[in-house]
Amino acid sequence: MNSNRRKFLRNVTVGAGTLLTGIDALANVTKDEADKSLSTSYEKEQQRFNMCGYAAPKLNVVRIGVIGLGMRGSGAVERLSYIDGVEITALCDELPDRVAAAQKTLAKMDRPKAKEYSGANGWKALCESKDVDLVYTPTPWELHAPIAIYSMKNGKHVATEVNSALTIEEAWQLVETSEATRKHCMMLENCCYDFFELLTLNMVRNGLFGELVHGEGAYLHDLSRDYLFNKKAYTNMWRLRENMKRNGSLYPTHGLGPIAQCMNINRGDKMDHLVSMSTNDFTLGAIAEEMAAKDAFFNEFKGKKFRGSNNNIFIRTTKGKSILIQHDVSTPRPYSRIHQLSGTKAMAQKWPGPERIAFGHQEVKAEELKALYAKYSPAIVTHIGEIAKEVGGHGGMDFIMDWRLIDCLRNGLPLDQDVYDAASWSSIIPLSNLSVNNKSRSVDVPDFTRGAWKTNKPLDLTLNGGGTTSVRKLAPKQ
């Protein structure tokens, strides 16, 4: 790492040496030091190679190794098995019984048995394998960046679940490794492939919103009792532990990703700076006390400090747009990603309640909304959308994402999400933590494109010569 990068990381972490991973990282920093770090940007370096718009050589057959076979990984094995031109050649999980379960899925899908890897370091052996082109990794968060970096260094493209990085250092390592190896690093942000999000993105491209002014997104999902404090949900309670490591937003990209694409972030505009504010914890600590009173297993969480119940991040782009991102996974409320777009000619919002689009004071009627879907759903939806609904995965958006990834790799096309998206969208986690711990002071967002955002082209919503990848005949519904 050169001196400029070291200087930037030293400043942004305020000399704490923690790379923003702990909620107490800035506890002993003086106000002057904090103010200096929050206003310091790094001297831009020259980009090694621009991965935005990069088309890797075609892969007629995409050989996939899946690392992490829990809730997300087990579903991915089945979805990927529907796609022609795919071979799942390797399976890995720390727990061998999960590998065995995934093998049964392959057998059910009439797919060959995959090579098995397990144990704490089994993922490294999979990444080193000569029989894998793409590493697909839905593991606990702390492994996403290490696996992605190691995969690319071993000549593999990588698709990593959200979030792709937890620190600014990890985000830069993803960028530099992808540029050096010319291997794709895609964050599997499935919400970018939901039908309403794709509809509004294409409407923006066609000028129906005029100039976008503001966007709002969120991850509002009460996970507290059914998931965070469920002993069977996450191995070693890893996701609950993540709620103890840092304050700020832990999961911003579901709301941010679709808005960033609509605003051409990294492709004509960029996130410039943010402020973030969290409430106190009013929920998780109390639940930990309650659970410990019933079950000694939860005693280690009793009396511990958890992140604030609700977090809000306000982002300003270089071109003067604003984005509001919310995070709340522990208060009782209906699920919502919000997905609100506000432009000079129209607005749209999906959550909560029904989908809404308005070109004035009144939102459009159901029939007009249906007509907008028919006219402005992008090619990927008209091509594969109905099949995706049948295969499933959050209503089909997971399968659209998987199919599109494979189709791009097989046809030598640029991916919809590149390493700069993975890095910048994920950087909001440590940056929100930094702002929260400094009384919501403004924090600069690094330019991971190193200036290339000015000339990078917007996401291409056409199939662009793709669409050739077929899907296996679906089994009849029972």
Give the residue among 124, 201, 138, 158 at the shortest CA–CA distance from 372: 201
Residues contacting residue 292 through CB under 8 Å, at least 6 positions apart = 298, 299, 301, 302
The verdict on residue 70 lying in a domain is yes
One domain for residues 201 and 77: no
The verdict on residue 211 lying in a domain is yes
DSSP per-residue string spanning 195-238: HHHHHHHHHHHTTTT-SEEEEEEEEE---IIIIIT-TTTSGGGH
Q: Could you give the dihedral angle defined by the CA atoms of residues 440, 444, 448 and 452, in that order, rounded to the nearest 10 degrees?
A: 140
The verdict on residue 178 lying in a domain is yes
* The two three-digit tokens of residue 255, written as one number: 């709301």
* Residue 465 burial (CB count, 10 A): 10
One domain for residues 349 and 207: yes
The verdict on residue 349 lying in a domain is yes
One domain for residues 447 and 340: yes
The verdict on residue 413 lying in a domain is no
Query: Which CATH number goes with the domain that contains 107?
Result: 3.40.50.720
pLDDT band at 21 (very low <50, low <70, confident <90, very high): very low
Of 190, 220, 254, the one marking the end of a domain is: 190
Q: Residue 9 pLDDT > 50, yes or no?
A: no
One domain for residues 280 and 299: yes
One domain for residues 151 and 258: no
Query: Which CATH number goes with the domain that contains 237?
Result: 3.30.360.10
Residue holding tokens 């050989």? 63
Burial of 296-321, coded b for 16+ CB within 10 Å and e otherwise, reads eebeebeeeebbbbbbbbbbbbbeeb
Which helix or strand (DSSP H or E) is residue 411 part of?
Answer: helix 397-411
One domain for residues 152 and 110: yes
One domain for residues 85 and 217: no
Q: Residue 179 pLDDT > 70, yes or no?
A: yes
- At 477 the pLDDT is 54
The verdict on residue 465 lying in a domain is no
Summarize the confidence of residues 127-140 as an average pLDDT.
98
The verdict on residue 406 lying in a domain is no
pLDDT band at 469 (very low <50, low <70, confident <90, very high): very high
The verdict on residue 429 lying in a domain is yes
Residue-wise pLDDT tens digits, 358-402: 999 999 999 999 999 999 999 999 999 999 999 999 999 999 999
Three-class secondary structure of residue 186 per DSSP: strand
Instruction: Report which listed range, 10-24, 41-55, 201-215, 461-475, is most confident.
Output: 201-215
Give the residue numbers spanning the domain of 229: 191-378+418-454
One domain for residues 316 and 450: yes
Percent of the chain with pLDDT over 70: 90
One domain for residues 224 and 336: yes
Of 159, 190, 221, the one marking the end of a domain is: 190
Q: Residue 10 pLDDT > 80, yes or no?
A: no
One domain for residues 175 and 237: no
Number of domains in the chain: 3
Q: Lowest-confidence range among 18-32, 125-139, 236-250, 258-272?
A: 18-32
Spell out the alpha helix ranges (H) of 27-95.
31-39, 71-81
One domain for residues 179 and 206: no
Of 190, 222, 240, the one marking the end of a domain is: 190
Average pLDDT, the chain: 92
One domain for residues 208 and 354: yes
Residue holding tokens 């529907």? 82
Distances (CA, A) of 116 to 66, 130, 147: 10, 14, 17
